[in-house]
Structure 1
Amino acid sequence: MSNLMKRPVVLGCCLWITGYVLAIYSELRWLTWTTSALLLVALIVIYALRLPGRQPLCALLLVGVAFGYYQGADQRNVTALPLAQQQRLDPDGSEVTLLGRFSSPVTVDGDRASFTVEAATVRFQGEAFPLGGESVQVSLRLLEQEQQAVASGWRRGDALTLTGTLCSPSPARNFGGFDYRRYLRLHQTHWLLAASGVDQAQVEPAAARFGIVQLLRWNDELRDALSRRMDLIFPAPQAGFMKSMLIGQTDDLDPGRFQQFSELGLTHILAISGLNIAVFLGVCIGLMRRMKLTKETYLLICIWLLPFYILLTGASPSIVRAGLMSMVALFAARKGLMKDVLHIMAIVAWIMLLWNPYYLLDVSFQLSFLVTLGLILGVQRVNALLMSCIPSSILRNTASITLVSQVVSFPVSIYYFNQFSLLSWLANAILVPVISLVVFPAGLLATVSGIVYVPAGKGLGIGISWLNEAIFWSTDQLQQLQGFKQIWPTPRLLWIILYYVLLVGIYWLWRRLAQSRLDGLPVNLESPQARTKFNVPMWLCCTCACFLLLLWIGYTPERWNRTGIVQFIDVGQGDAILIRTPFGKHILIDGGGTLTFRKPGESWKMRKDPYEVGAKLLVPLLKKRGVHQLDLVVLTHEDADHSGGLQAVASQMRVNQFMFNGTFKPGAQTVQLFETLVARKVPLLPANASRWIQLDSQTKFHVLYPMEENAQQLEIVKEQNAQSVVFLLEMQGTRWLFTGDMEKESERKVLDFMKGHPAILERNPKGDKVDAAHLVDVLKIAHHGSKTSTTQEWLDYWRPSLAAISVGAANSYGHPAPDVLQRLNEGGIAVFRTDQMGEVQVEVRKTGLLFRKKLSRP
């Protein structure tokens, strides 16, 4: 605290962030901008009058000012559309006409054009309502390939009149899932507009007037021109990688390469940050020194260059932070005021948080400042501790930087990304110096040379490509070492706080121990007040043990949880069911999938990184919930809405066993899935009606369909619904029936099988005789509630108390069928639907089944 008192700007910034955090996790409606201003006046008066106890009181008042400032900004972050008009909008979307101006570049990807509009008015139901320049996110579906060129010609600032469907962004539909509504709100956006065809848009080019909009238009055009020139300079497979690293343009970056770098903890290389700023300034200063410019001159030139470089690279929070810090540092160096880097960082953070309080919730802002703070405070200290272990100063500096950055960023990284590679430190230690000291400067030089003369830049680009290939080969080899990749569940805030507290404690004790040995003093330090000895080695061992215990708890927080849970994940029009048994086994039934319909000659509609349920939704959810491995994956059948998402699961997660229906549906997607499973040596189990299979002491399952006679041969079957795997699950005294997309004929076969094997259901899971009221507690309704299954005979036999329907919201098939819903209602069966409720979770407790639904919409 005494050190902080010597740095009032740093202390003030910390208190300001504290106020923001309190505002995020609590709410005091009376604390607004008005009360915040009054508290600020009181703070100034108390400090000016030098009243006794002013320091703690002023600190408390500053926290209150920050609380009110954040809450006031948050309360004003609402749509300009009056509430009465919002209530007239259809929740599923209303046809409107929007008038406004483009407020972002237009991104064209396949058959989709995306951009934001600064909306002036919106017209619907014959009336016009002002929006006052509110931001609206637009998704325009392109109907013909020629429309790509038309949409690409639209520019920021152009006037636009667009007719489409206006709706509110979708909230998270799964527990812990991505909340698109919250994400857009943090970017001051409250509405989505979907339209089809450029004919729905009337665009008028903006008049050339000097101003902010015109500057941004020039910047967009410059970025586009640089992107096209870099396509000529660098080989096609690497142009996207170099664009991401040099100008922050990620549109052409290979998604697979990004995933690889993410798993190895190298995404900071692909995101413009302080590293890029440092190299950029180093190249610029080096060139200007060779030109014999004075120090004052080249520092001033660099200050003026940085704002343009920030804009050119996309102005993300990390690059804004690094750019502003560099500008302040350069100005201080030019004026001879360079004393404390912490003050510079605090000033920049304060400026950014005043400009946009929501920056505090941005992962790039958090990681950028956290790592920078760690490097400022930790590298020299750790370097001193490692001096006796690592004699070489170069190796010691590299080890210190790598260790500090990895340890400091670890909790935030697993909070957002839920993965960590034990090889991350090695990848960073080896590749970051090569990329920052060779690839990045050479890439800048190649780009500048290519702007002047393309063949010169292209020659350098070919040389860089050889080095990039070596880098990619290295990352490929590291990624194949799957045993080093760890999946971490999202930690709680208390766990993160304890992590940093113990980390500081370890450093403090380690330093005391090292200093004692260096001075030749005893390690048992005596306190003159208490006359007791403080055993430094013992306390260091205890603190390290507590730290390791904390990591162990964070890695498997549910280790001692003996509650079974079945999670019907909302994957849209498809199935994905995750089961956690009382002893921590994980079973995944199906993986959802994205249905695509393409006619011959429509390859232009393909997007560079299309939405895929497995990679974008299912795998992130599994990681967030701490699923380190899947003990069993059951693919009920091979239709795309059940099997499509399993490719990402098989590629990114450990699968111990894979059960399928024993048939094969021809298609590239199915071939890829089974090739991945075979390559990763996953045992393939054809399902057949046999005996009960024990998963743990309280969980077992029994396959009811397909029958035994079909299990010995692999048939090619195009129509898969009738071949769905059907099985019973018994867990903690409850019984569940999972049905895939089975049809009426399959239901009859299963009923005949059950009547021929009554021993399967002679006793309920608790060991008592079967209760006549219900044979199963929960029935998964087949085929998303289609009329092709769930007959009255089927329901009469199983007599479930609860039915779960996995079905997509507003699907085009009309699922679930009204007849099926009527039969369920007449049978007094409670129905849970993912289209209305989002994810449905059912916990098995001693008192019965506990239900949770993500959405409250009836």
Structure 2
Amino acid sequence: MGMTLKPLFVVCMFSALHQLWHIDLSMLAGAILFPKSWRTFPNDLLVLILSFSLLCVLQDYESWRYWYPVSLIEPLEVMLDRSVAVFSEHITTVTEGGYSRFLRAVLLGQKDDISAETTALFKALGISHVLAISGFHIGFWIVCIRPLFIWARSPLTRGAMLIVQFFILYYYALMVGASPSVLRAVWMFLFARVVALRNSGTSSLQIAMLVAIGHYLVNPKAPQSISFQLSYTAVFAILLALRSNDAEQLVLQYSFRGHIRKGNWFFVPIQISLAAWSATLPIVQGSFGGASPYFLFGNLLVVPLITVMIWASVPLLVFGGLLPEGIKGWYARAWETLVNGAEQLLLFLEQLGQSHG
């Protein structure tokens, strides 16, 4: 499968990006023929012929898809808008202050109400990705709804419940705008679970390539978006960093089963942060003019606390109307304390950098 999937992935991405990034055909040929482990001259020739033929077909396909894009039917769009409005109103009712604005941003993508100071703080610490709905947030919903399906034991019921989970997650992805990072996470979860249920042995990189190809076929312009490039570049880097590591399943299925040596989990967040940051740095540098030098501190010290605040919202979202009124103020103060702590961390890091400058 890998021998077929990799050239197909490379050709699709080349077709979408070669004009934007000024990539010539020699780089395409080099990417297709690397590595050498399975190469023979007949194979090389056949792969090149098929790849360049496919490239010609894809050019016409992109033109056709431009005039006939995939779009949602109007009743579904109305339903999605109503769902967003209801959920947003519910968050506003059961929370208050900056915490309410934060939850609407991370759960619904409504970032307009986030203060400019908070946005600048997150950017300075290299944790702006927390405010962009992505695989991190899909994982939140996967874990939330997973207890509803623990009763499924047989292969048939597990398969049926996986389909239900997928449609719930896909509906949520459409609710929040169906950004490339969200769609990638939902589809990768589906394929990873199918692979696990069938025990097929398909590698994580093949799953990521398959999803990227499907994404391109639905919307050939998607790879040109910064969201697509950052999301897939980061996930490929993370999967490579965690290859043959049990923690890989955290990225694919948002679950972990197996044995891991004591203490190794301490290094997993560092691996993930370094892999994602280093791989996406050229894109961030070119698109945004720079990246935060404090990303590791932000991701290791602040993001875990933000994650706690997201998970702490579950009782409010589920039982908000039954809880004491004063608890909303407690959550809001806890959020303000976290933001103030992050500001102090940034100030300390800046002063430390100046003292060693």
TM-score exceeds 0.5: yes
Matches within 5 A, 1:582-621: none
CA–CA distance in structure 1, aligned partners of residues 56 and 21 of structure 2? 11
Measured against aligned partners, the alpha-carbon deviations of 1:87-114 in whole angstroms (never above 9, x if no partner) come to xxxxxxxxxxxxxxxxxxxxxxxxxxxx
Where does the alignment leave 5 or more consecutive residues of structure 1 unmatched? Answer: 29-50, 79-132, 135-186, 189-210, 384-389, 487-858
- Pick aligned residue for 2:275 from 396, 401, 404: 404
Give the structure with higher Rg (CA): 1
Cα separation, partners in 2 of 1:420 and 1:52, compared to 1, 3 Å: closer
> Does 2:178 match 1:322?
no
Cα separation, partners in 2 of 1:215 and 1:468, compared to 1, 3 Å: same
Per the alignment, residue 367 of structure 1 pairs with: 230
> Does 2:55 match 1:66?
yes
Per the alignment, residue 423 of structure 1 pairs with: 294
Per the alignment, residue 13 of structure 1 pairs with: 9
Which structure has greater helix proportion?
2
Cα separation, partners in 2 of 1:455 and 1:336, compared to 1, 3 Å: same
CA–CA distance in structure 2, aligned partners of residues 76 and 300 of structure 1? 28
Per the alignment, residue 318 of structure 2 pairs with: 448
Per the alignment, residue 473 of structure 1 pairs with: 340
**Does the 8 Å CA contact 2:124/2:294 hold for their aligned counterparts?**
no
Q: How many percent of aligned residue pairs carry the same amino acid?
A: 22
**3-state SS in 1 of match to 2:111:** coil
- Pick aligned residue for 2:45 from 43, 52, 56: 56
Residue 416 of structure 1, CA deviation: 1.4
Cα separation, partners in 2 of 1:442 and 1:67, compared to 1, 3 Å: farther
- Pick aligned residue for 1:433 from 300, 304, 310: 304
Matches within 5 A, 1:71-470: 73=62, 212-289=73-150, 292-294=151-153, 296=158, 298-337=161-200, 339-380=202-243, 392-436=263-307, 438-450=308-320, 454-456=321-323, 461-470=328-337
CA–CA distance in structure 2, aligned partners of residues 340 and 322 of structure 1? 16
CA–CA distance in structure 2, aligned partners of residues 265 and 335 of structure 1? 39
One-letter identity of the residue aligned with 2:277:
Q
Measured against aligned partners, the alpha-carbon deviations of 1:762-821 in whole angstroms (never above 9, x if no partner) come to xxxxxxxxxxxxxxxxxxxxxxxxxxxxxxxxxxxxxxxxxxxxxxxxxxxxxxxxxxxx
Which TM-score applies when normalising by structure 2?
A: 0.77
Matches within 5 A, 1:836-847: none
Matches within 5 A, 1:463-612: 463-480=330-347, 481-482=349-350
Cα separation, partners in 2 of 1:232 and 1:347, compared to 1, 3 Å: same
One-letter identity of the residue aligned with 1:409:
T
CA–CA distance in structure 1, aligned partners of residues 318 and 21 of structure 2? 48
CA–CA distance in structure 1, aligned partners of residues 2 and 61 of structure 2? 31
Where does the alignment leave 5 or more consecutive residues of structure 2 unmatched? Answer: 25-39, 247-260
Residue 394 of structure 1, CA deviation: 2.6
Residue 455 of structure 1, CA deviation: 4.4
Per the alignment, residue 570 of structure 1 pairs with: none
Cα separation, partners in 2 of 1:426 and 1:217, compared to 1, 3 Å: same
Which TM-score applies when normalising by structure 1?
A: 0.34
The range that moved more, 214-223 or 294-303, is 294-303
Cα separation, partners in 2 of 1:300 and 1:25, compared to 1, 3 Å: closer
Residue 223 of structure 1, CA deviation: 0.3
Cα separation, partners in 2 of 1:56 and 1:404, compared to 1, 3 Å: same
Residue 420 of structure 1, CA deviation: 2.1
**Does the 8 Å CA contact 2:108/2:175 hold for their aligned counterparts?**
yes
CA–CA distance in structure 2, aligned partners of residues 219 and 76 of structure 1? 24
Which structure has greater strand proportion?
1
Residue 229 of structure 1, CA deviation: 1.7
**Does the 8 Å CA contact 2:5/2:210 hold for their aligned counterparts?**
yes
Cα separation, partners in 2 of 1:277 and 1:217, compared to 1, 3 Å: same
Cα separation, partners in 2 of 1:458 and 1:229, compared to 1, 3 Å: farther
Matches within 5 A, 1:821-832: none
Per the alignment, residue 31 of structure 2 pairs with: none
CA–CA distance in structure 2, aligned partners of residues 222 and 6 of structure 1? 40
One-letter identity of the residue aligned with 2:341:
S
**3-state SS in 2 of match to 1:302:** helix
Residue 279 of structure 1, CA deviation: 2.1
Matches within 5 A, 1:678-717: none
Residue 75 of structure 1, CA deviation: 8.9
Cα separation, partners in 2 of 1:434 and 1:286, compared to 1, 3 Å: farther
Residue 52 of structure 1, CA deviation: 7.4
Greater RCO structure (CA 8 Å; 6+ sep): 2
CA–CA distance in structure 2, aligned partners of residues 262 and 343 of structure 1? 32
Measured against aligned partners, the alpha-carbon deviations of 1:48-70 in whole angstroms (never above 9, x if no partner) come to xxx97254333354245336524
Residue 268 of structure 1, CA deviation: 1.2
One-letter identity of the residue aligned with 1:442:
A
CA–CA distance in structure 2, aligned partners of residues 65 and 462 of structure 1? 59
CA–CA distance in structure 2, aligned partners of residues 444 and 63 of structure 1? 51
Cα separation, partners in 2 of 1:235 and 1:380, compared to 1, 3 Å: same
